[in-house]
Structure 1
Amino acid sequence: MTSSIERTTPAGSDRRTFLQRVALTGVALGPGGAFLASCATGGGDDDDEAEEAPSGDVSEDNPLGIPEDQPLEIYIFDGGFGDEYATEIHQPIFSERWPNVTIEHHAAVDIAGELQARFVAGDPPDFVNNSGDGQMDPGQLISDGLLYDLSELFDAPSWDDPNVTVRDTLLPGAIEAGTRNGTPYVLNYAFTVFGIWFNQTLLDENGWPVPTTWQEMMDVCADIAAAGIAPWVYQGVTAPRYMNWPLLSMATKLAGPEILVAIDNLEPGAWGHEAIKESAAAILSLRENNYFLPGVEAMEFRDAQGLWARGEAVFCPSGSWLENEEADAIAENPTFQLAMMPDPLLSPDSVMPLETVRATAGEPYVVPADAENPRAAMEYMRAMLSLEGARGFSEAVTSLTSVAGASEGVTIEAPGLASAQAALQAAGDNVINWYYPSWYGDMENPGIDQATGALLRAEITVDEWADRCEAVATEVREDDSIDKQNRES
């Protein structure tokens, strides 16, 4: 994008010089466009950003002080959600209030492939939906000083009510999911509910109850197997980590959320907690009783999920994106009534209730630190977080958002999403999550992922699995080159 505004501040110049040097040497960029070395300057601070970016007059109608005559360039990941939600919902909402701001819209499948060179040149777009297989590593972008501090956005008045800040319109954990060292850099917009997914019609027709305890799960699995159907499927060789989700959720229900804090904070011995090992033993019992779809351990994740959706297995761990992801396969099974259940209790004496669910904000949107028009980009985010923007998104792409109450009054025809919404409402304040996968990407994949894959193939014992997970966490903890995060609760 061409702009008449020349930015000559030292911070912007230093960052650009560094990145251009990176482009020439090729030593700091890894596969997929992730930045693998820190900037020499660490990026400019907020004052530098404010001085170098054009701005307008701050007022009640313009709380972020956006320039009303500067264009806004955005990039949307054209993946599972497509990009029509941007062109048909969010952009019209923004443009109705800011008709003189020209939006230059781009859709891209490979975000890093499209934008890596522009980040290197110090000329990124203003707004990026940094998602998909070509996602740029957000943690490294933050470490390199390449993302804008979004504190002003979250402290600004909300789009719908000037007496309520943006942060107070969001579900718990939405801002924290994109925060590093106390500073928010990423807007995670979609809200994913995790659990065990199944065909409600199949259970009803056979009189199989929805299990609430692990013992009930094993009893139902025995009945399902006797009927010639595989009780469980998981995401195969591609992503055995999907089974970590019920494992950690059940352990947390048993012992309390403190065990997740210990894992995220890389505390020695966290993976060896008795509740975690008890949950791992429950997961292993599925293999020991031959309750997995035969051959699933060697399948690609979509192949495994597709067989599940076509009725060859009953239970599948995943997030609420599953319905959209497997829509075609589900459509081939006319009796398929998708539903979600919370992970069962390992014991009646569990600390947290059955209704506890893991849920988290995802689908990241960022403003580059070198953006020409960062304030308009944050204003665009403010429009996205309006009730109209959030409801429109949910209706268009079959996904909840991180805006509290946005799904109320919205007709959700997709049965899976309706089930996930009901589960989230039933959970109330009993919503859990863990952050180590986003804080330390390699810790989960390939680290914990490979250990869990071996456990699911019964190649290692529960104790050996815990030891391998602990070794992965220790490696991260003792690596001084990794920026550590701290979780208080």
Structure 2
Amino acid sequence: MSLARRDVLRGLGLAALAAPLAACATGRSATPAPSATASAAATSAANPFGVQAASPLEVVIFSGGNSDKYAVDLHEAAYSKAYPQAKIKHVATQKVGTQLRPRFIAGDAPDVVNNSGPEALDLQSLVAEGHLADLTPLFAAPSLAFPGKTVRETLVGGVYENSLIDGVPRVLQYTVAHRALWYNAKLFQAKGWTAPRTWAEFTALGEKAKAEGIALFAYPGQVGPFYQLWNLVYSAAKIGGNKVIVDIDNLADGAWKADAVLQAVTAWAKLQKDYGDPAYFGLDHTQTQVKQLQDKVLFYPCGSWLENEMAKDKPDTFEYAIAPVPSITAADALPYEAIMIGVSEAFFVSAKGENPQGGLEYLRLMLSREGARGYTEMTRNLTVVNGVVDGLKLTSAVESAARAQEAAGQNTITDARFEGWYKELFDYGQTQTNSVMAGRITPAEFCANMQKKADDLKGDSSIAKQTR
């Protein structure tokens, strides 16, 4: 049954989407970013940032699960309509870091960057070098979606809090993300199976799947092990509460050695050993996702962009549905229904680009009614702009995520932020995840290794520290 629009987005204004962030920094201070209005035109209500009408604009888009067509057809088209004299350079890439890092070093920064994918840039390093523009003017600007409101007043809870680095808004997260386990609802219906609520039910289903030659669970060991790293951390939070994630993000002493982390890693490593398939360690995310579409994998840990990413390959026999991670222990701090609901798909404006004013306006156009509604139509993902998709026919995956969100209520798992704050730790975590899931190290060794890496970063005075 299709959910009404008000039901789909009922919870999207809740502060529980992301815990408030009180960011501060220690260690080296960031290089002051140039003013985004240094060479601006006169400002007005229609042109709050002082965009120079003829200034060119360069936009770099991560062409992953959401492709880059939305940028060309929607947001860049809207910018061209507003500033027809401005030439737009569009760059699509799946290697954001590889392609852009040399350009930032050389002083040739693009104006707008969609910083996503496995090679996303280290935002903290960019801030330290003064490359990320202050987005305060954007959040305070008049909304193009709802006249009489500021941009910030139109956004779901957590967007502004997640934009902060060193206490300053630097990054716009554009979509609402639901991260949990995805499965084929049609297969489950045909088999008479239900999504497991407890770990015992999970392993029992694993026995049934194994009998039919199906892996209960898989994640991509190449170009995507962070999916499982997320899964481990969010599972630990389910056992021990959101403080587990907050402690990890804050580089708290012993955070990775917490009992909840060890229990989560132990449970998943054993599940992989008993019901997984080591062949998936050699596959990337697309290859693994195709295997799931072929019903060779039951559960896959990912975010709500998955359906759109696989739209061209998805057969009629497959219908994406989302399920929370089963309760791992009888004493889990969070109930079975708890899932991670947060904001994702990062965009930033280059402070040292040729047209930072145009970059801010580009983001404002993304947050317009047409820009946000059109994005949902094209990518099957909800944006962070509230109340702009009335009447849209939503897909089964979006409806399933909405039902899961409704069931979770206030019991949401907070998003882990060490990925953006300490990319070195996040990247190291991916290699350690593959090692423990493949049985090359024990869960205790995983926890010890991650803790040592976190401690090393904590002790490095050259790295700015964040707290929440």
TM bracket, shorter-chain basis:
0.7 to 0.9
1:41-74 CA distance string (max 9 Å, x none): 95445xx515622231333x34x24246342403
1:320 to partner: Cα distance: 1.7
Q: Counterpart in 1 of 2:58?
A: 74
The 1-side partners of 2:319 and 2:123 are apart by 37
Q: Structure 1 pair 340/408, CA: closer, same or farther in 2 (3 Å)?
A: farther
**Structure 2 contact 381–398 (Cα < 8 Å) conserved:** yes
Q: Counterpart in 2 of 1:323?
A: 307
1:1-47 CA distance string (max 9 Å, x none): xxxxxxxxxxxxxxxxxxxxxxxxxxxxxxxxxxxxxxx995445xx
**Are 2:365 and 1:365 equivalent residues in the alignment?**
no
Q: Which amino acid aligns with 1:284?
A: A
Q: Counterpart in 2 of 1:457?
A: 438
Q: Which amino acid aligns with 1:182?
A: G
**Structure 1 contact 55–375 (Cα < 8 Å) conserved:** no
1:444-489 CA distance string (max 9 Å, x none): 21x22222222212233322221122112112111222111111xx
Q: Counterpart in 1 of 2:269?
A: 284
Q: CA RMSD in A?
A: 2.7
1:114 to partner: Cα distance: 5.9
Q: Structure 1 pair 398/134, CA: closer, same or farther in 2 (3 Å)?
A: same
Q: Secondary structure at the match of 2:295?
A: helix
The 2-side partners of 1:428 and 1:408 are apart by 22
Q: Which amino acid aligns with 1:146?
A: H
1:101 to partner: Cα distance: 5.3
1:345 to partner: Cα distance: 1.7
Q: Equivalent of 2:456, from 462, 470, 475?
A: 475
Q: Which amino acid aligns with 2:158?
A: G
The 2-side partners of 1:220 and 1:456 are apart by 20
The 2-side partners of 1:313 and 1:391 are apart by 33
**Structure 2 contact 36–133 (Cα < 8 Å) conserved:** no
The 2-side partners of 1:265 and 1:41 are apart by 18
Q: Counterpart in 2 of 1:437?
A: 419
Moved >6 Å (runs of 4+)? none
**Structure 2 contact 57–358 (Cα < 8 Å) conserved:** no
Larger relative contact order, structure 1 or 2 (CA cutoff 8 Å, min sep 6): 2
The 1-side partners of 2:284 and 2:107 are apart by 38
The 1-side partners of 2:372 and 2:259 are apart by 41
TM-score, normalization: structure 1?
0.82
**Structure 1 contact 118–124 (Cα < 8 Å) conserved:** yes
Q: Structure 1 pair 297/371, CA: closer, same or farther in 2 (3 Å)?
A: closer
1:134 to partner: Cα distance: 5.7
Q: Which amino acid aligns with 2:191?
A: N
The 2-side partners of 1:214 and 1:274 are apart by 17
1:120 to partner: Cα distance: 4.6
- Stretch moving more, 256-265 or 216-225: 216-225
TM-score, normalization: structure 2?
0.85
**Structure 1 contact 391–407 (Cα < 8 Å) conserved:** yes
Q: Counterpart in 1 of 2:22?
A: none
**Structure 1 contact 71–104 (Cα < 8 Å) conserved:** no
The 2-side partners of 1:116 and 1:461 are apart by 35
Q: Secondary structure at the match of 2:340?
A: strand
Q: Secondary structure at the match of 1:311?
A: coil
Q: Equivalent of 1:56, from 31, 42, 60?
A: 42
Q: Counterpart in 2 of 1:385?
A: 367
The 1-side partners of 2:442 and 2:109 are apart by 48
**Are 2:303 and 1:303 equivalent residues in the alignment?**
no
Q: Secondary structure at the match of 1:175?
A: helix
User: What percent of counterpart residues are identical?
Assistant: 33
The 2-side partners of 1:452 and 1:114 are apart by 26
Map 1:266-285 → 2, pairs under 5 A: 266-285=251-270
**Structure 1 contact 197–340 (Cα < 8 Å) conserved:** yes
**Structure 2 contact 350–356 (Cα < 8 Å) conserved:** yes
1:381-408 CA distance string (max 9 Å, x none): 1121123211100111222222234445
Q: Structure 1 pair 235/159, CA: closer, same or farther in 2 (3 Å)?
A: same
Q: Secondary structure at the match of 1:470?
A: helix
> Which 5+ residue runs of structure 2 have no aligned equivalent?
1-27
Q: Secondary structure at the match of 1:74?
A: strand
1:238 to partner: Cα distance: 4.3
Map 1:118-137 → 2, pairs under 5 A: 119-120=104-105, 122=107, 124-132=109-117, 135-137=120-122
> Which 5+ residue runs of structure 1 have no aligned equivalent?
1-39
The 2-side partners of 1:83 and 1:242 are apart by 22
Map 1:397-416 → 2, pairs under 5 A: 397-413=379-395, 415-416=396-397
Q: Secondary structure at the match of 2:89?
A: strand
1:137 to partner: Cα distance: 3.0
Q: Structure 1 pair 439/382, CA: closer, same or farther in 2 (3 Å)?
A: same
**Structure 1 contact 195–246 (Cα < 8 Å) conserved:** yes
Q: Counterpart in 2 of 1:342?
A: 324
Q: Counterpart in 2 of 1:170?
A: 155
Q: Counterpart in 2 of 1:312?
A: 296
**Are 2:342 and 1:356 equivalent residues in the alignment?**
no
Q: Based on CA coordinates, which of the two structures has the bigger radius of gyration?
A: 1
**Structure 1 contact 307–313 (Cα < 8 Å) conserved:** yes
**Structure 1 contact 221–231 (Cα < 8 Å) conserved:** yes
